[in-house]
Amino acid sequence: MDSVESSNQRRATVTQREQWMVQDQVFQIYDIFANIPPKAQNLMLELQRDSHIEYLNKGLMQLSSSFVMPHLATTYAAVNSLITLGGRRALSSINREKLYAFLRRMKASSGAFRMHDAGEIDVRACYTAISVASILNILDDELIEDVGNYILRLLSTYEGGIAGEPGSEAHGGYTFCGLAAMILINEANRLDLAGLLDWVVFRQGVECGFQGRTNKLVDGCYSFWQGSVFALLQRLHSVNGKRVAFSDAEEGDCATDSTSEGELTDGNSSETDETCHMKQGVGHGEMEPLFHSIALQQYIILCSQEQGGGFRDKPGKARDYYHTCYCLSGLSVCQYSWSKDENSPPLPKAVLGPTRIFWNPSILYIMWS
């Protein structure tokens, strides 16, 4: 180890050192995996699955230990990973009683949640708590109480998006959390959905990627945080029909500047005959996405993808697991954005490029957890 590397090691936090250790182990596993015959590979996958379950459970056991601080973000990741791994052993390893007690402890007097004991109170905490409770079927009136009122305070009145805390500016990451939490507690109708839609359509930049907030640069990870807001809004609209008020964007209205399949806008184009031509071409079982999904795929694949594998914020930035996960999740949002039925495979016209590789989000979780 050279001196720069060893001084970096000394300065690293415990979490960083643990992450590097896991990363080393993963790379060793991949090396071994690449060199063994297929039958043995299946056996190894089973063994790997067991060790994942054990690892995630160690994390969840922190909920009752005073040694390492339990945290809502890691709880959310661990629970979702265990559910994605699936099977009796993974699912029965989640202690729902202890988890419920932890969630109740994280609930603040305002009705919102804090990320950890004495930690920050914000909409991420509300979403992760509500989402974990909902997926484990332990969501009750006590957990829900006043969450909707808190989220209503986060609507950035002059913009339309949702902020992390009362009084802050609207941001894509927080907007996803706020909208998703409101849907899970069945209170989405209390939001100004037309205002929200109006805010999010203007977050797709001339580069075709999304920015997280007004006047900031586009970044691949917002392909998911902002892209999924469209997905949620459109699902809400098609499920609830007239119950959800989109006064500014009724079906058939032109909300974005769409072009024909695979064609990029120059960022200055306005509504054209072509746009409305495309609307007329929306067939049965299809819905037109309210953002430019083909252009977003272009940003993800051409700008966020690194030649050597993995994804990044933008050219010039380094790839990392966070951006790889959320760029691929954004790609999945794009590819399913034309399908009315979420269980049907993506329509060919929704997928950019000759290779029809569909990114199913549940497979992504397996790949990146």
Ligand X SMILES: CC(C)=CCC/C(C)=C/CC/C(C)=C/COP(=O)(O)OP(=O)(O)O
Distance CA 177, CA 170 (A): 12
Instruction: Examine the residue annotation and report whether 221 is marked as an active-site residue of this protein.
Output: yes
Distance CA 327, CA 287 (A): 22
DSSP 8-state assignment for residue 264: P
Instruction: Examine the residue annotation and report whether 313 is marked as an active-site residue of this protein.
Output: yes
- State which residue, 107 or 319, has the beta carbon closest to Zn ion: 319
Binder to ligand X among 113, 150, 174, 230 (CB under 6 A)?
174
Distance CA 79, CA 72 (A): 10
φ, ψ of residue 89 in degrees (nearest 5): -65, -45
Instruction: Examine the residue annotation and report whether 323 is marked as an active-site residue of this protein.
Output: yes
Residue 212 binds which entry of Zn ion, ligand X, none, CB below 5-8 Å type-dependent? ligand X
Catalytic residue among 71, 114, 124, 213: 213
**How far apart are CB 223 and Zn ion at their closest, in Å?**
9
Please report whether residue 257 would count as binding ligand X according to CB under 6 A: no
Please report whether residue 313 would count as binding Zn ion according to CB under 5 A: yes
Binder to Zn ion among 219, 233, 236, 337 (CB under 5 A)?
219
Please report whether residue 126 would count as binding ligand X according to CB under 6 A: no
**How far apart are CB 53 and ligand X at their closest, in Å?**
22
Interacting residues with ligand X between 56 and 115 (CB under 6 A): 73
Distance CA 325, CA 336 (A): 17
Q: Are the beta carbons of 354 and 261 closer than 8 angstroms?
A: no
Residue 177 binds which entry of Zn ion, ligand X, none, CB below 5-8 Å type-dependent? ligand X
Q: Tokens in use for 180?
A: 């998703």
Catalytic residue among 124, 219, 299, 327: 219
**How far apart are CB 329 and Zn ion at their closest, in Å?**
12
Instruction: Examine the residue annotation and report whether 349 is marked as an active-site residue of this protein.
Output: no
Identity of residue 45: L
Helix or strand run (H / E) with residue 148? helix 147-152
Q: Tokens in use for 308?
A: 């050597």
- Is residue 87 helix, strand or coil? coil
Instruction: Examine the residue annotation and report whether 24 is marked as an active-site residue of this protein.
Output: no
Distance CA 200, CA 222 (A): 11
Please report whether residue 329 would count as binding Zn ion according to CB under 5 A: no
Instruction: Examine the residue annotation and report whether 171 is marked as an active-site residue of this protein.
Output: yes
Residue 300 binds which entry of ligand X, Zn ion, none, CB below 5-8 Å type-dependent? none
- State which residue, 163 or 352, has the beta carbon closest to ligand X: 163
Binder to ligand X among 148, 173, 195, 346 (CB under 6 A)?
173
Question: What is the crossing angle of helices 321-335 and 361-368, to 10°?
Answer: 170
Binder to ligand X among 71, 114, 203, 213 (CB under 6 A)?
213
Q: Torsion angle of alpha carbons 18, 19, 25, 28, nearest 10°?
A: -140
DSSP states of 315-368: TTSPP-HHHHHHHHHHHHHHHTTTBSSTTSPPPGGGS-SSS-----HHHHHHHH
**How far apart are CB 219 and Zn ion at their closest, in Å?**
4
Binder to ligand X among 107, 171, 292, 312 (CB under 6 A)?
171
Please report whether residue 216 would count as binding ligand X according to CB under 6 A: yes
Cα-based distances in Å from 40 to 85, 206, 306, 337: 20, 48, 31, 38
- State which residue, 102 or 222, has the beta carbon closest to Zn ion: 222
Residues that bind ligand X in the complex, under the rule CB under 6 A:
73, 124, 127-128, 171, 173-174, 177, 212-213, 216, 219, 225
Residues identified as active-site: 171, 213, 216, 219, 221-222, 313, 320, 323
